[in-house]
Amino acid sequence: MTKKLISVIFALIFTISSFSVLSVTASAASNTNSKEYPYKLESALSYAAKNWNNGIGLCAEFASRCIQAGGINVYKPRVVDLYNALNGVHGTSYKLKLTGGKSGSLKMSDNKDMVGKGDLIFYFCNNCKRYTHVVVCNGANSEGYIQDYAHNKAHNGQKRTYTYYCCGAENWTMYSIVLDKGLRRYGARTTVKVPEINYLKNGANGVVVKWNTISGAEKYALYRKTDNTGWKKVTTTTKTTFADKTLSNGVKYQYTVRAIDNNVYSQYYDGKAVVSLNAPTLSISNSIGAVTVKWSKIQNADGYYVYRANEKNSWVKIATIKGGNTLSYTDKNVVSGKTYKYTVKAYDGSLAGAYLNSGVSIMYLATPSLFKANDTEKGVKVTFTAVGGAQKYRVYRKSVGDKNWLALGETTTSSFVDTTAKANVTYIYTARAINGKTLSNYQSNPITYRVGEKSNVSQNEKLVDAVLKDAVKKK
């Protein structure tokens, strides 16, 4: 074999080996996390410093050219279009906190991780519901106040008081877009979409939140905030629904959701809001000819909805109570011996509150009536109507002028003999139906009877008047 042939063979071997190594290396690199910094903020800020007062275009055009210089190829001459093109695609939106309220300064410490150098800051008019202005953040000064580059405004590099008027009123909000500057997964931003809340109401177990399923999401993070707090994570779950029970009554809560894929979080929307209305505490009792439901007062309620369970154990609204101070309802559509279940929701405008899903139940027992009394050899016999569902009856007595009833005893029939009645004394008798621990109501003055006389004085108006006049004289 000649030296020339040997050299060619070795060259071929070296080339093949090198190609194999490079192929393996390239393959390995394509399957590992790689650090990419798609947005070069220093390049964006360098462009802003040179061109902030060049008089070319409006604020959105200026901001677009700044981020283009930083490597994000987005150009939108309208503020709202620029915001929408960046949010969730090239960055994350945050609502910023003004140090002095609606007219004040932005401090970096108040907006930690929500804005930084090279990020964009948008002004949103709450009256006309649109984004009206955009500036480029230039970090903070020595006192921690955020500075910016605002197109054609000579305040760059200074502490800025963000007083902005639109629609003739000082009513606006500031948002940032934190542009992608850090680690990207496998060289690309996560493709997991942003979940949207499609159901938010007070339910049987607190505020119920539901959102749409996101393809590729392994789980979801639910956040909540109030007008006085920032976003706080409520839970992480693989489900698309959650009942939030840890709420205070009458407080407005705002919710949002982020999808999670391999520990990479999606963006999120501003979310939806609901006012928490607690479930009223309930009590129930038999009244004369009805069931009475009572409940606790719920602050901020405009009124209450009363529900009764049907044969399928589903709740059916039977009454709307107007007025937050009316705390009872009388259901007269009842049959003695039948059990009924009720629950109540408070409402505020069109918003219905939480409710006790288990409800409260009672067997309605009618009030015994149509009493009559007469003397017998054993005593005064009191007779009354039988009541559907009653297992027994309890009979009471008091003298005319007395306040308290005396329980005489119980009977399984619709009559009872009072063996302790005294002659020439006028008594009032009543009775209650009983089933287990459930008692009916009672007639407060069903029959008046004077022992030793034959007639039932409740049937004789003249004698009743005489008895009452006699009772008044004795007081």
Secondary structure of 385-444 in HEC code, one letter for each residue? CCCCCCCEEEEEEEECCCCCCEEEEEECCCEEEECCCCCCCEEEEEEEEEECCEECCCCC
Length of the chain in terms of residues written:
475
pLDDT one-digit tens code per residue, 328-347? 999 999 999 999 999 999 99
CB 236 within 8 A of CB 196: no
DSSP assigned state of 279: P
Residue with tokens 């007219």: 103
pLDDT one-digit tens code per residue, 99-144? 776 556 788 988 888 899 999 999 888 888 888 899 999 888 888 8
> What distance in Å separates the CA atoms of residue 169 and residue 206, rounded to the nearest whole number?
37
* Local structure of 375: helix, strand or coil: strand
> Quick one: pLDDT at residue 156?
59
Determine the distance from the C-alpha atom of residue 437 to the mean position of all C-alpha atoms in its chain, rounded to a whole number: 37
Q: What is the mean pLDDT of residues 352-376?
A: 91
Helix, strand, coil distribution of the chain in percent, nearest 5: 15, 40, 45
CB 193 within 8 A of CB 253: no
CB atoms within 10 A of CB 305: 18
> Quick one: pLDDT at residue 169?
63
DSSP assigned state of 426: E
In the numeric block, which tokens belong to residue 311?
A: 């044969």
pLDDT confidence bin for 19, thresholds 50/70/90: very low
> What distance in Å separates the CA atoms of residue 18 and residue 158, rounded to the nearest whole number?
57
> What distance in Å separates the CA atoms of residue 250 and residue 104, rounded to the nearest whole number?
29
Kind plus residue range of the DSSP H or E element containing 307: strand 303-309
> Quick one: pLDDT at residue 154?
55
More confident residue, 430 or 267: 430
More confident residue, 315 or 461: 315
List, as one string, the DSSP characters of 101-140. TTSB-BBGGGGTTT--TT-EEEEEETTTTEEEEEEEEEEE
Q: What is the mean pLDDT of residues 274-278?
A: 89
Pick from 78-87, 188-197, 216-225, 246-255: least confident: 188-197
pLDDT at 28 over 90: no
Q: What is the pTM of this model?
A: 0.51
pLDDT confidence bin for 354, thresholds 50/70/90: confident
pLDDT confidence bin for 471, thresholds 50/70/90: very low
Closest C-alpha to 224, from 266, 259, 175, 257: 257
Q: How far is CA 311 from CA 201, 341, 425, in A?
A: 26, 10, 50
